[in-house]
Chains A and B, each alone.
Chain A
Amino acid sequence: MNLRQWAADLRLGAKFAFTGGREGWTRVLLTAVGVGLGVALLLLTTAIPSALNVRHDRGEARSDYTYSQKVKPKADDTLVIADVDTTYGNKDIRGRLVEPEGPRAPIAPGLAKYPAPGDMVVSPALKKLLDSGDGRLLRERLPYRVTGTIAESGLIGSQELAYYAGATGLAPHINGWQTARISEYGTPNPVSAKSDPVLILLVLVVFVVLLMPVAVFITAAVRFGGEQRDRRLAALRLVGSDSRMTRRIAAGEALAGSLLGLVLGTVFFLLGRQLAGSLEVLDVSVFPSYLNPAPALAVLVAVAVPAAAVLVTLLALRGVVIEPLGVVRTTRPARRRLWWRLLLPVIGLAMLYPMIGKGRTEGDFNQYLVAGGVIALLVGVTALLPWIVEAVVARLGNGSVSWQLAVRRLQLSSGTAARMVNGIAVAVAGAIALQMLFAGVEGDYTKASRNDVNRAQVEVQLSRGVDADEAVAKFRSVRGVRKVVALAGGNLSDASVKSAGGQNRNSPVTIGDCAALREVAALPSCRDGDAFVVAAADYDTDTPVLAKPGKKLYLDTDQGMDAGREARWTVPQGIRKVAPGTDPSGMEHDGFLLTRGAVPAAAGQPVAQAYVSLDDAVPDVREYVRNAAAAVDPFANVMVWTRNEESKKFASIRTGLLVGATCVLALIGASLLVSQLEQLRERRKLLSALVAFGTRRRTLSLSVLWQTAVPVALGLLLASAVGLTLGTVLLKMTATTVSVDWSSVLTMTGIGAGIVLVVTLLSLPPLLRLMRPEGLRTE
């Protein structure tokens, strides 16, 4: 046997692929689509790590945090930059106010020059939002003139909302964390991208989950039109091909489809790359240019996927003996062995077991063990399932004729059913496991919040120097605001910060009007000018010492940031002791409570927070509050407390998973349909004969339904079990409370049942056509 003969055989097969009539073309096209999807999916998946690295590097390159209390002196190469990030709806917006202090001020990545005061440059996504009707309220918040766009190098994703606005007078706001003076961008000590373990798990599971149905589809596709191909191969045997040659010719046919699939795959990948540029998942978006698979991996994919398609064809021919006078199928496949099928899932579980509880400690998280474990478990399930399907189907009893026909068919060729079940099991199991993982992680996150959303839904932290009364008045004027409570903080000490040297006694102070103070303690009666002391907790030993009427104390309302601006304050006679309470954020206010009138005029403007209660019936009320906050204090930090926001995020993940799982199941449904039609076509004569001796069409239609429903039901049952197990393992790995998300299990099962119904309904027209008596004609 020489290479030339091999090449000639493969070439002949490739020729047959395109000259085999409609069935041949259909097979080539289906194979090409399957291989194309597989190639595109693998290329996209292999490109994800590099995309995340590019994002990380770009984020590092534009970093403007100094992480230092020490303020740089003003120079011709410095820039004052203020972090004025905001949120619009559920979207975070990166905002920076910039004020270059000299001609050599560092230019931010993606910018050619800084905008003049009152102007801004924006990301393309933000420009689109501002230009659209949806951005109406955001335009009010960002009243700057758009003079340009930020280039790709200054953004970490195509959908990122970001802007740089020119400003003046930023220097007094320098505080080391929100506003800083810098002479260069970038992190002084850059760290390499560290992947989030949960994200890695997500990518791995999605990778395996998506690939399995594609494999199932390819398997179904290369078998399409098998009968006609077998007849052709038999004819070749008659004219002198040996059995090896016929197999090579068959492989050549599959290779033609695979190579076409490679071309389609490249096209799908390029389209998918462009599409990925317009998507955002979990607030992460990428530019198409980020998605570059490593060349070695790309070559591996380009070789492995077509090779796999050819291998499937050869495996399909394993149970077929092509003789010169026809094709003989081995009637009963060899019995499946259990022992080796158990190995993979057991190895998978063994690899995952040591990782339990370590998913949140990055140092201890072994990515290789997790990756290997998840893949071994999911792929292992595909090895185990054929055995389980065979065992279960063999035990199914007799029933009606339609049931008997379906069950016997399944018993005779449980391999086809098992392949379908494999795809479904992996897809649904993966989807259930991911739903559980998200539900668990999200559940833990929500539980951590102590905010009382019944009392307030928005907290606004005003910056230093902002008049709280003015801010409160502004918030109260907003449509949909029910109530505003403003509380300021400070510190009372028996010695000045300057002179104490750390040896003084301290007690916290809360400042507000009577209504606001009632939010944090049970006041018997209150008038402006009153002062109270909260019954001290056991650990607070300073307050009882300081709360002696007539004692002279130092009041610092600037929280030590600008020491020396303390005012003298004397504890009034008859200061009343009140029971402690918590503010809407769940924080207890110990120490002294002072009404505005009790604060000496010499004290500086206290730093205040406003707690805003909203009428949810007013649309966009949160945006109105954010706009009001931005108007009164551009540096204000607005925090929306509603649990709804988190649950909305979770709902979008759920929807995404649901859509993904539905697409995957639809692909499996398409595979089921292709196999079903192929089976029906092969049985054309038999169907006509059954109709000839009076078999009701309903009986045959029902048998088609059972034939699809039984394996799918079995698959969904097993998938639920595997999904719940994998979900539990993943949750335990990330040290999250294990809870079963039954709604997702039911949804997935429902989608599966829907697919059975659709496949059956779509099979009926060809079934009815094939049952016509024309099938009996032999001439």
Chain B
Amino acid sequence: MTPPPGSLLTAENLRKAYGPTTALDGAEFSIHPGEVVAVMGPSGSGKSTLLHCLAGIVTPDSGSITYDGRELSAMSDAQRSALRRSEFGFVFQFGQLVPELTCVENVALPLRLNGTSRKEAERAALSWMARLEVDDLAKKRPGEVSGGQGQRVAVARSLVSGPRVLFADEPTGALDSLNGERVMELFTEAARSANAAVVLVTHEARVAAYSDREIVVRDGRSRDMERLV
């Protein structure tokens, strides 16, 4: 497959197996800057593995992943970590906030990992928290806030470093529908305003509805729904 022109992140013929279980079997993927792509599929289809490979967290057994013209598999672990710190952002099903840190410290964490001073990092964090309507939780710890609030804090954390690609793995999986919708609204709005591409892994159609395009993963293979249409 030839990557579509102007793609920011492209994957070709990805294969990945965990022991005897094949997670990806020739999966393809591409995304443009500012685009929101939903990766859908049933449980165990390989969509999370695809996300992990795209984000450079997991190395595929074969195939190629290109980010901004650079081959991910050619990068060292340290280079991929640096890429994730500066160019990518993440939201998981459970916010994965550090329980010991306050909400503002959690949001500021990616910036601090990048070497930004604490004051400056927390100032930027507060500004993102305000945009996601959780600035009043700044001094609370994750254990003291609700699931929806925690997920919004996690979204703020994913955006604070100004990433070019956001990876979201079932971001509303642990929320009720009302909270889930609010989180998705704020998330996609914020991502679009920052011109960040979003790779959204979900099995819920109502969540996928916030995307520009959908890719379905089944038995480790991907199909671009828009192109089929």
The reply to whether A412 and B169 contact each other, CB–CB distance below 8 Å, is no
The reply to whether A689 and B96 contact each other, CB–CB distance below 8 Å, is yes
The reply to whether A691 and B57 contact each other, CB–CB distance below 8 Å, is yes
Nearest B residue to A778 via CB reads: B93
Does B94 have its Cβ within 8 Å of any Cβ on chain A? Answer: yes
| With known contacts A409-B100, A696-B113, A779-B44, A689–B83 Cβ distance under 8 A | no
Name the segment of B104-112, B127-135, B181-189, B209-217 touching the other chain.
B104-112
Q: Which one of A401, A693, A695, A779 contacts B43 once the chains associate, using CB atoms below 8 Å?
A: A779
Name the segment of B5-13, B60-68, B84-92 touching the other chain.
B84-92
Interface size on B, residues (CB 8 A): 39
Nearest A residue to B92 via CB reads: A689
The reply to whether B92 and A776 contact each other, CB–CB distance below 8 Å, is yes
The reply to whether A401 and B112 contact each other, CB–CB distance below 8 Å, is yes
- Beta-carbon contacts of B97-127 to A below 8 Å, as 1s and 0s? 0111100010001101100001000000000
Does A343 have its Cβ within 8 Å of any Cβ on chain B? Answer: no
| With known contacts A689-B90, A692-B57, A331–B96 Cβ distance under 8 A | no
Does A411 have its Cβ within 8 Å of any Cβ on chain B? Answer: yes
* Chain A residues whose CB sits within 8 angstroms of the CB of B75 once the complex forms: none
Interface residues on A, range: 20 to 34
Nearest A residue to B140 via CB reads: A331
Tell me how far the C-beta of B92 lies from the nearest C-beta in chain A, rounded to whole angstroms.
6
Q: How far is the CA of A412 from the CA of B99 in the complex (A)?
A: 9
The reply to whether B96 and A686 contact each other, CB–CB distance below 8 Å, is yes
The reply to whether B55 and A692 contact each other, CB–CB distance below 8 Å, is yes
Does A690 have its Cβ within 8 Å of any Cβ on chain B? Answer: yes
Nearest A residue to B55 via CB reads: A692
| With known contacts A331-B143, A779-B44, A690–B98 Cβ distance under 8 A | yes
* Chain A residues whose CB sits within 8 angstroms of the CB of B52 once the complex forms: 692, 773, 776
Tell me how far the C-beta of A393 lies from the nearest C-beta in chain B, rounded to whole angstroms.
12
Does A408 have its Cβ within 8 Å of any Cβ on chain B? Answer: yes
The reply to whether B48 and A694 contact each other, CB–CB distance below 8 Å, is no
* Chain B residues whose CB sits within 8 angstroms of the CB of A779 once the complex forms: 43-44, 48
The reply to whether A408 and B105 contact each other, CB–CB distance below 8 Å, is yes
Tell me how far the C-beta of A771 lies from the nearest C-beta in chain B, rounded to whole angstroms.
11
| With known contacts A692-B55, A694-B81, A331–B92 Cβ distance under 8 A | no
The reply to whether B57 and A773 contact each other, CB–CB distance below 8 Å, is yes
Tell me how far the C-beta of A315 lies from the nearest C-beta in chain B, rounded to whole angstroms.
21
* Chain B residues whose CB sits within 8 angstroms of the CB of A777 once the complex forms: 48
Tell me how far the C-beta of B174 lies from the nearest C-beta in chain A, rounded to whole angstroms.
10
- Beta-carbon contacts of B160-175 to A below 8 Å, as 1s and 0s? 0000000001100100
Nearest B residue to A410 via CB reads: B100
Q: How far is the CA of A411 from the CA of B93 in the complex (A)?
A: 27
The reply to whether A405 and B113 contact each other, CB–CB distance below 8 Å, is no
Q: How far is the CA of A17 from the CA of B92 in the complex (A)?
A: 34
Does B144 have its Cβ within 8 Å of any Cβ on chain A? Answer: yes
Does B82 have its Cβ within 8 Å of any Cβ on chain A? Answer: yes
The reply to whether B170 and A778 contact each other, CB–CB distance below 8 Å, is yes
Tell me how far the C-beta of A28 lies from the nearest C-beta in chain B, rounded to whole angstroms.
28
For the residues of A in contact with B, the DSSP-based class is helix
* Chain B residues whose CB sits within 8 angstroms of the CB of A329 once the complex forms: 143
The reply to whether B98 and A686 contact each other, CB–CB distance below 8 Å, is yes
* Chain B residues whose CB sits within 8 angstroms of the CB of A739 once the complex forms: none
A residues 373-420 near B (Cβ < 8 Å) are 398, 401, 404-405, 408-409, 411-412
* Chain A residues whose CB sits within 8 angstroms of the CB of B110 once the complex forms: 693-694
The reply to whether B82 and A694 contact each other, CB–CB distance below 8 Å, is yes
| With known contacts A404-B105, A694-B113, A695-B113, A776–B48 Cβ distance under 8 A | yes
Q: How far is the CA of A401 from the CA of B143 in the complex (A)?
A: 20
Which one of A694, A776, A777 has the highest number of Cβ atoms from chain B below 10 Å of its Cβ? A694
Does A699 have its Cβ within 8 Å of any Cβ on chain B? Answer: yes
* Chain B residues whose CB sits within 8 angstroms of the CB of A773 once the complex forms: 52, 57-58
Does B192 have its Cβ within 8 Å of any Cβ on chain A? Answer: no
Tell me how far the C-beta of B126 lies from the nearest C-beta in chain A, rounded to whole angstroms.
16
Which one of B57, B78, B144 has the highest number of Cβ atoms from chain A below 10 Å of its Cβ? B57
Tell me how far the C-beta of A417 lies from the nearest C-beta in chain B, rounded to whole angstroms.
12
| With known contacts A699-B113, A773-B52, A776-B57, A694–B96 Cβ distance under 8 A | no
Q: Which one of B81, B113, B141 contacts A331 once the chains associate, using CB atoms below 8 Å?
A: B141
Tell me how far the C-beta of B203 lies from the nearest C-beta in chain A, rounded to whole angstroms.
10
Q: How far is the CA of A776 from the CA of B49 in the complex (A)?
A: 10
Nearest A residue to B89 via CB reads: A693
- Beta-carbon contacts of A694-721 to B below 8 Å, as 1s and 0s? 1110010000000000000000000000
* Chain B residues whose CB sits within 8 angstroms of the CB of A412 once the complex forms: 99-100, 141
Nearest B residue to A408 via CB reads: B100
* Chain A residues whose CB sits within 8 angstroms of the CB of B173 once the complex forms: 778
* Chain B residues whose CB sits within 8 angstroms of the CB of A693 once the complex forms: 84-85, 88-90, 110, 113, 157-158
* Chain B residues whose CB sits within 8 angstroms of the CB of A96 once the complex forms: none
The reply to whether A696 and B169 contact each other, CB–CB distance below 8 Å, is no
* Chain A residues whose CB sits within 8 angstroms of the CB of B143 once the complex forms: 329, 331
* Chain A residues whose CB sits within 8 angstroms of the CB of B157 once the complex forms: 693
* Chain B residues whose CB sits within 8 angstroms of the CB of A690 once the complex forms: 96, 98
A interface residues, Cβ below 8 angstroms from B = 329, 331, 398, 401, 404-405, 408-409, 411-412, 685-686, 689-696, 699, 773, 776-779
The 4 closest A-B pairs by CB, nearest first: A694-B85, A689-B96, A408-B100, A694-B84
B interface residues, Cβ below 8 angstroms from A = 43-44, 48, 52, 55, 57-58, 78, 81-86, 88-90, 92-94, 96, 98-101, 105, 109-110, 112-113, 118, 141, 143-144, 157-158, 169-170, 173
Besides A412-B100, A691-B57, A696-B81, 20 more A-B contacts (Cβ < 8 Å) are: A329-B143, A331-B143, A331-B144, A398-B118, A401-B109, A409-B100, A412-B99, A685-B94, A689-B96, A691-B81, A692-B55, A692-B84, A693-B89, A695-B85, A776-B48, A776-B92, A777-B48, A778-B93, A778-B170, A779-B48
22 contacts between A and B (CB under 8 A): A331-B141, A398-B118, A401-B112, A404-B101, A408-B105, A409-B100, A412-B141, A685-B94, A686-B96, A690-B98, A691-B81, A692-B84, A693-B88, A693-B110, A694-B83, A694-B88, A694-B113, A696-B81, A699-B113, A776-B92, A778-B48, A778-B173
